[in-house]
Structure 1
């Protein structure tokens, strides 16, 4: 919340329209409409400056507020509000009344600022979400191929764990190219899969019909193209995380977190120094318990589910993986809680514990270390690393990430001199 202003503006932002209302402490009010093109946003900014507007506020409406914020924030104090926190009074609703309501709340200093990422952090977050979208699309395409095979009575997935692995893909390509079954089986690259020859031959009893063959071939080509895009996107994400290599090494030191999940966590959190306590970060992730109290009675309710859905999802997925691992801090916490709570509650609590530990590690710039475990940790540490100091271990993790970046980059340097990794 802020102090009361003398003259402010409330804007109702839409895809193609902005309705703005300027209100003054003396009761003066006037309204104007603008488009959302770049020239219209410049006109909106000039209109605010000409009328000596001290502050402008608008709701975070989808992705439409981003260009408005970028156009106004360098010149005027700009507030982006959470729509859930400034709901208007029920009744007749219009664009004009909405902008007037926002202006009234802004004039009285009743609007809480939303946390706005920098342009660089927003781009990183967009990249990680795009990669997550590619992953979902890849799953959909793979499920299509499973369906096409099932339609033809081919039970390949019953005898091979991953039909999109090296051997599975070899068999699929052979079916698409209408090769003889014996010819396909003789050239399988994996000796382990070759031992299942009779089982695979029985599963491939039927051949693909013309329609299924065409669809499987097209879907495999789409998968190949998508895999290249995913690898290219991962390279771009890793490139953008070079400045935060220490943070990435710290997050990846936690059990169950790899590059993909670690980059999502950093991208969705942004600058972790914005949070003063781990509880604030957990609440921002939507993992804090809600509050429902009336007449002195508290009713049970789940987590708030506010904040980043992408971050909350990946934290829950990591918690599910870590809970199945061996003896570590998170699995012990989960199983201890599981004795008196249901599975979903225990996993959600583990996800909250995970983000609080990540916060402490990032703030203190320390790698995760497992303590008081009787068995090996889920991420065994090299013996020579046990004798290194905290700074040396962190430096070693950063060096590994930098090496990975140059390794991936060289894969795309066709026709260009290969880039040598820097000396550490």
Structure 2
């Protein structure tokens, strides 16, 4: 028996973090746990007021804690994380998936103690979290996206009010928030009802003729519908003004980041496309990104200036948190998983993820699938073979690799074209067929030309 106990003690794992603590985050109460060898009562509960959080930090200081782990529970972890980080603790945010599959943890106390135990032995991985001005820019961009969503709902309200009056404006113009649509709506709100006068607000670039617009604007005006249209327009204008304020803040953050980088950059390459992005910022995003990054990521097909800005805000400016492109695509949940047991692949499905960066890359993949590029040809070939859903994920992964190599290693992307990709794919298929025929004792020969 003594020999067995001795052998077990030799196999004990030594702690990685001697002064580790953990917090079980809640909406109204936080449960904190430290090592049982520090104090007689290793678990304490604290409220969620700011004073309670400072008392939590004081208790950690008394216990000699240096590093703290917590799960990312909603948004309740943010105040705790920021206060502890300001007080000098090394705080790591962990994914609940890494510690939830353990039986017997049914209370907040046992949950906190288990987290502390895992963190003490270095069994928890810290999640990626932006810091500094990039995190500030990400907050402004997310606020901007929320404002655009709110404005979009009022666009639907305006369209509903027009439909109730049988004004078929959305059938004759591409976008009712364009130059022609907004001019007509503002004239309607101002009291104009004559279809001829309303049709005179047609922009010269509008495809519909003035007569078509006039016929579409003959409707049944009612007071309550005009009232609803007026309020929807006013709210839409309010959100557009708030979006403009966000653009000012985002541009200021980009200038501060550019000044802090102190990197000398040359002249940006030629613009790949002159098409203006809808709902894009009011300033020159492409020039600002080139000055900050030293490279032009918009040369990659599918990545417009605004989408590239949001990607940089979600992932950082240098992507140094990931050793290579495989780690980066795995973090995005765009690479196949490796669920293997007994030498047999049980599943290779990509993990589900709520990553905003992955969603942006999937949008880029859908957009590039309609282009005559190598990426577009890859998307269409894979879509015909395995379906669009898998083709979107695979193309998004390719774009992610190009994005990583451009930012991390300064790669210059040059599209070889759809025809080059198709010819390369044809050569690969032919090489595989020749190898299989040779293994079976046959030789492939080209078919004779017809006639």
Q: Name the TM-score class by shorter chain.
A: 0.7 to 0.9
Alignment of 1:30-69 (within 5 A): 30-69=42-81
Once residues 372 and 168 of structure 1 are traced to their aligned partners in structure 2, the CA distance between those partners, rounded to angstroms, is 38
Matched with 1:289 is 336
**Cα gap change, 1:194 to 1:176, in 2 (>3 Å):** farther
Deviation at 1:250, TM superposition (A): 2.0
Q: Deviations for 1:310-364, whole angstroms, at most 9, x for unmatched residues?
A: 11111111111111123x2311221232231201111111111001101001112
Larger radius of gyration: 2
Q: Does 1:4 align with 2:37?
A: no
Bigger Cα displacement from structure 2, 348-357 vs 177-186: 177-186
**Cα gap change, 1:138 to 1:82, in 2 (>3 Å):** same
Once residues 128 and 195 of structure 2 are traced to their aligned partners in structure 1, the CA distance between those partners, rounded to angstroms, is 62
Matched with 1:339 is 384
| C-alpha contact 2:154 2:236 (8 A) present in aligned 1 | yes
**Among candidates 132, 139, 154, match of residue 145 of structure 2:** 132
Once residues 180 and 121 of structure 1 are traced to their aligned partners in structure 2, the CA distance between those partners, rounded to angstroms, is 50
**Cα gap change, 1:258 to 1:238, in 2 (>3 Å):** farther
Secondary structure of the 1:191 match is: coil
**Among candidates 261, 276, 280, match of residue 323 of structure 2:** 276
Matched with 1:198 is 211
Once residues 195 and 129 of structure 1 are traced to their aligned partners in structure 2, the CA distance between those partners, rounded to angstroms, is 36
Matched with 2:229 is 216
Once residues 324 and 199 of structure 2 are traced to their aligned partners in structure 1, the CA distance between those partners, rounded to angstroms, is 61
- Normalising by the residue count of structure 1, what TM-score does the alignment of the two structures yield? 0.80
Q: Deviations for 1:296-323, whole angstroms, at most 9, x for unmatched residues?
A: 44344532133x5211111111111111
Stretches of structure 2 lacking an aligned partner (at least 5 in a row): 1-12, 259-290, 421-451
Once residues 248 and 136 of structure 1 are traced to their aligned partners in structure 2, the CA distance between those partners, rounded to angstroms, is 32
Once residues 252 and 29 of structure 2 are traced to their aligned partners in structure 1, the CA distance between those partners, rounded to angstroms, is 37
| C-alpha contact 2:195 2:215 (8 A) present in aligned 1 | no
**Cα gap change, 1:195 to 1:296, in 2 (>3 Å):** closer
Aligned length: 373
Deviation at 1:15, TM superposition (A): 2.8
Alignment of 1:12-411 (within 5 A): 12-24=24-36, 30-73=42-85, 74-87=87-100, 89-91=102-104, 93-185=106-198, 187-191=200-204, 193=206, 196-242=209-255, 243-244=257-258, 245-247=291-293, 250-270=296-316, 271-294=318-341, 296-306=343-353, 309-326=355-372, 328-371=373-416
**Cα gap change, 1:309 to 1:205, in 2 (>3 Å):** same
Once residues 294 and 181 of structure 2 are traced to their aligned partners in structure 1, the CA distance between those partners, rounded to angstroms, is 34
Stretches of structure 1 lacking an aligned partner (at least 5 in a row): 376-424
**Cα gap change, 1:9 to 1:231, in 2 (>3 Å):** same
Deviation at 1:126, TM superposition (A): 1.3
Once residues 418 and 390 of structure 2 are traced to their aligned partners in structure 1, the CA distance between those partners, rounded to angstroms, is 25
| C-alpha contact 1:248 1:266 (8 A) present in aligned 2 | no
| C-alpha contact 1:175 1:208 (8 A) present in aligned 2 | no
Deviation at 1:374, TM superposition (A): 6.7
| C-alpha contact 2:364 2:396 (8 A) present in aligned 1 | yes
| C-alpha contact 1:160 1:168 (8 A) present in aligned 2 | yes
Deviation at 1:102, TM superposition (A): 1.0
Secondary structure of the 1:346 match is: helix
- Normalising by the residue count of structure 2, what TM-score does the alignment of the two structures yield? 0.75
Secondary structure of the 1:79 match is: strand
Deviation at 1:25, TM superposition (A): 5.8
Larger RCO, structure (CA 8 Å, separation 6 or more): 1
| C-alpha contact 1:128 1:264 (8 A) present in aligned 2 | yes
Once residues 313 and 338 of structure 1 are traced to their aligned partners in structure 2, the CA distance between those partners, rounded to angstroms, is 18
| C-alpha contact 1:176 1:213 (8 A) present in aligned 2 | yes
Secondary structure of the 1:272 match is: coil
